[in-house]
C-alpha cells in the first residue's frame, strides 16, 4: 500500500521534500499555515550541493529561468574597497564539484519548486496545533479544525517548529548577537557602479556586507550583518528603514552605501539557532530543515541542508520497508553532516579550505543512501 505522508510547512525545505517524496511514488500532502506560499527576505545562495539535488528533481529549467549563475566571488575591505580575495565561481564550480552555484530570489525558488508539485495537494491556512503518534500512524490537528491521520508525518515547519515542540518539548532558540539587514535594489538605480555579474562580500569591524544578483539579474540583493547585544521585538520592527541600515554601515565604502541607499525594500532579521538535537524522529514522525537543525547563515547552507534532507528522506522511505526504521535511518545519515555545519556556522569559522569545500559542495545525497537495508 502506498504510504500517505503529510509534510507540515511549505517553505523551501518542506516543498522540496514534498517533490522528492511525490516523485518517489508516495501519496503526499503539504499543510502550510500561511494563506499563500511565500518567502520574505529577498535572495538566497544555492551552493552546488543544493543545485545538484534540485537538478535531480528536474528543476534546472525553472532555476535557470529565474536565477543567476554568478561568474565570480570578490571579497573586499570595508572602507577602501581593497581586494582581499577573488575567485571564479561559474562555470568552475561545475568542473570542481559537478554542479553550479546559483543566486536566486527566495520567492522565485519557492515557485519553481512548487510548480513540480500538484497545487491541489498544498493545503493553505492549515496551522498545525497538535499531533499524536500511534505507532502505525500519526494523527494531527490544525487550528482551522481540520484533522488528519497519515502513515508518516514530516515537520518542516521552521525554527519555531510546532512538530519539534510536540516531539521534544519547548525550548527558546538562541540569539546570535547579530542582526541582518536585507534589501533589494532595481539594477537600473545602480547602473553607474557597473558591477560585474558576480557576488561581492565586504569585511569590516564587527560587520560584513554581501551583495549578489537575483531575479534574472534585474535586482541586486544585499545582506549586511552587524553585531547587536540583544533583540526584542518591541524595540525593533521587522521592516527596517533604509536610514537605519545606512547608519549601521556608516563610514563604509561608497559602493556599499550607494547600494543601501538605492534599496526598494529593506528588512531586518535577527539571527537565531538552536543546539543540535541528538535525534529527530519519534515513531513515524520526523523533522527536516530549520525545524530540526536551524543554523546561523554564515556558511549559507541552511536551506541547502533542508534540500538535502528532503532527498535523503525520500530515498530512505523508498529503500527501507518499515517507515519508523526508514526515519531512523534518515536521521542517522543526516545528523553528522548537519551537526558539523551547525557547529561551523556557530563558530563562524570561515573555513573555506579546499577539503572543506569539497566536503560541502561535492556531497551527493544519492551516494549515501543504500538501495536496500
Ligand atoms: C539572513 C539569512 C540568510 C540566509 N542565507 C542562506 C543562503 O544563502 N543559503 C542557504 O542555503 N540558506 C540560507 N539561510 C537559511 C535558510 O533561509 C533557512 O535554512 C531555510 O529557509 C529553512 O527552510 P525551512 O523550509 O526548513 O523553514 P522555513 O523557511 O522557516 O519554512 C517553514 C514553513 O513552515 C510554516 N509553518 C510554521 N509553523 C507551522 C505550523 N504550525 N503549521 C503549518 N505550517 C507552519 C511556515 O509558514 C513556513 O512556510 C539564510 C538565513 C538567514 C536568516
Cα separation, 370 vs 29, in Å, equals 26
pLDDT at residue 234 in the model: 45
The pLDDT score that the predictor gives to residue 40 is 78
How many whole angstroms from 306 Cα to the centroid of ligand 1?
9
Which residue pairs from 237-240 have beta carbons closer than 8 angstroms and sit at least 24 positions apart in sequence? Answer: 237/268, 238/267, 238/268, 238/269, 239/265, 239/266, 239/267, 239/268, 240/181, 240/266, 240/267, 240/268
pLDDT value of residue 331: 96
Best of 105, 290, 299 for a ligand 1 pocket test (most atoms within 8 Å of beta carbon): 290
On the CB side of 198, how many CA atoms lie within 13 Å of its CA?
14
Task: Please name the helix (run of DSSP H) or strand (run of DSSP E) that holds residue 261, with its range, or none.
Answer: helix 254-261
Cα→Cα distances 142→31, 34, 251, Å: 9, 12, 50
Given ligand 1 and candidates 201, 221, 297, which is best to mutate, with the most ligand atoms within 8 Å of its CB? 297
Question: What pLDDT, on the 0 to 100 scale, is given for residue 350?
Answer: 63
Euclidean distance between CA atoms 252 and 255, whole angstroms: 8
CA–CA distance from 58 to each of 20, 55, 143, 220, 323 (Å)? 10, 5, 35, 27, 26
Q: How far is the CA of 37 from the centre of ligand 1 (A)?
A: 12
Radius of gyration, alpha carbons of the chain: 20
Q: Measured between alpha carbons, how far is 122 from 101 in angstroms, rounded to an integer?
A: 29
All three cell numbers of 2, joined, read 502506498
State how far the Cα of 15 lies from the Cα of 19, in Å rounded to an integer.
6
Are the CB atoms for 94 and 103 separated by under 8 Å?
no
Alpha carbon distance 326, 337 (integer Å): 18
Whose C-alpha lies nearest to ligand 1, atom 2? 297
Q: Give residue 80 CA to ligand 1 midpoint distance, Å.
A: 35
Mode of pairing for the β-strands spanning 4-8 and 219-227? unpaired
Q: Measuring CA to CA, how many Å separate 49 from each of 101, 126, 300, 311?
A: 9, 31, 11, 12
The pLDDT of residue 349 is 60
246 Cβ contact partners less than 8 Å away, ≥ 6 residues apart? 257, 260, 261
**CA end-to-end distance (rounded Å), the chain:** 19
Alpha carbon distance 368, 52 (integer Å) = 14
Average pLDDT per block of 10 residues along the chain, 373 residues long:
95 98 98 92 94 98 96 96 95 96 97 98 98 94 98 97 95 85 96 96 95 96 88 57 91 98 88 89 97 91 98 94 94 95 81 88 85 52
DSSP annotation string for 117-136: S-GGGEETT--EEEEEE-SS
- pLDDT at site 9: 98
> Per the structure block, which three cell numbers stand in for 320?
527501507
In this prediction, residue 200 carries a pLDDT of 97
Residue 38, pLDDT score: 86
Ligand 1 surroundings by CB, under 6 angstroms: 8-14, 31-34, 44-45, 126-128, 156-158, 162, 180, 223, 269, 271, 289-291, 297, 300-304, 306
Residue 91: is the preceding peptide bond cis (ω within 30°)?
A: yes
Active site amino acids: 212
What pLDDT is stored for residue 370 in this prediction? 60
Gap between the Cα atoms of 293 and 13, Å rounded: 12
Alpha-carbon distance of 130 to 166, in angstroms, equals: 7
The beta strands (E) that lie in 159-309 are given as 174-186, 199-204, 207-214, 219-227, 265-273, 285-287
**Sign of dihedral through CA atoms 311, 103, 270, 338?**
positive
Q: What is the pLDDT of residue 240?
A: 64
Residue 83 is placed in which grid cell?
Answer: 581586494
Q: What is the pLDDT of residue 232?
A: 62
pLDDT for position 90: 96
Amino acid at each position: 500500500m502506498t504510504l500517505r505522508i503529510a509534510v507540515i510547512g511549505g517553505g523551501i525545505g518542506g516543498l522540496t521534500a514534498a517533490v522528492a517524496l511525490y516523485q518517489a511514488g508516495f501519496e503526499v500532502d503539504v499543510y502550510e499555515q500561511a494563506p499563500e506560499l511565500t518567502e520574505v527576505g529577498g535572495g538566497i545562495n544555492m551552493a552546488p550541493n543544493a543545485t545538484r539535488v534540485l537538478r535531480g528533481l528536474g528543476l534546472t529549467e525553472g532555476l535557470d529561468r529565474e536565477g543567476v549563475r554568478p561568474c565570480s566571488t570578490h571579497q573586499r575591505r570595508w572602507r577602501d574597497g581593497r581586494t582581499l580575495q577573488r575567485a571564479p565561481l561559474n562555470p568552475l564550480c561545475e568542473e570542481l564539484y559537478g554542479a553550479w552555484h546559483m543566486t536566486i530570489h527566495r520567492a522565485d525558488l519557492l515557485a519553481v519548486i512548487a510548480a513540480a508539485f500538484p497545487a491541489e495537494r498544498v493545503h493553505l491556512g492549515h496551522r498545525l496545533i497538535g499531533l499524536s503518534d500511534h505507532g502505525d500512524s500519526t494523527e494531527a490537528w490544525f487550528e482551522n479544525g481540520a484533522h488528519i491521520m497519515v502513515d508518516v508525518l514530516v515537520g518542516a515547519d521552521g525554527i519555531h517548529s510546532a512538530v519539534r515542540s510536540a516531539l521534544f518539548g519547548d525550548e527558546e532558540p538562541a540569539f546570535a548577537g547579530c542582526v541582518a539587514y536585507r534589501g533589494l535594489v532595481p539594477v537600473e538605480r545602480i547602473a553607474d557602479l557597473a558591477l560585474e555579474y558576480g557576488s561581492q562580500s565586504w569585511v569590516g569591524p564587527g560587520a560584513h556586507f554581501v551583495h549578489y544578483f537575483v531575479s534574472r539579474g534585474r535586482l541586486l540583493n544585499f545582506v549586511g550583518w552587524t553585531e547587536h547585544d540583544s533583540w526584542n521585538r518591541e524595540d525593533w520592527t521587522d521592516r527596517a528603514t533604509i536610514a537605519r541600515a545606512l547608519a549601521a554601515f556608516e563610514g563604509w565604502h561608497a559602493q556599499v552605501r550607494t547600494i543601501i541607499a538605492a534599496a526598494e525594500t529593506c528588512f531586518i532579521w535577527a539571527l537565531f539557532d538552536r543546539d543540535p538535537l541528538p535525534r529527530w524522529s519519534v515513531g513515524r514522525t520526523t523533522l527536516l530543515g530549520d525545524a530540526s537543525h536551524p543554523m546561523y547563515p554564515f556558511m549559507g547552507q541552511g536551506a541547502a541542508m533542508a534540500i538535502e534532507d528532503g532527498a535523503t528522506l525520500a530515498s530512505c522511505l523508498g529503500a527501507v520497508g518499515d517507515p519508523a526504521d526508514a526515519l531512523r535511518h534518515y536521521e542517522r545519515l543526516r545528523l553528522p553532516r548537519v551537526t558539523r555545519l551547525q557547529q561551523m556556522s556557530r563558530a563562524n569559522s570561515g573555513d573555506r579550505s579546499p577539503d572543506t569545500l569539497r566536503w560541502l559542495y561535492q556531497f551527493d545525497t544519492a551516494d549515501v543512501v543504500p538501495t536496500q537495508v
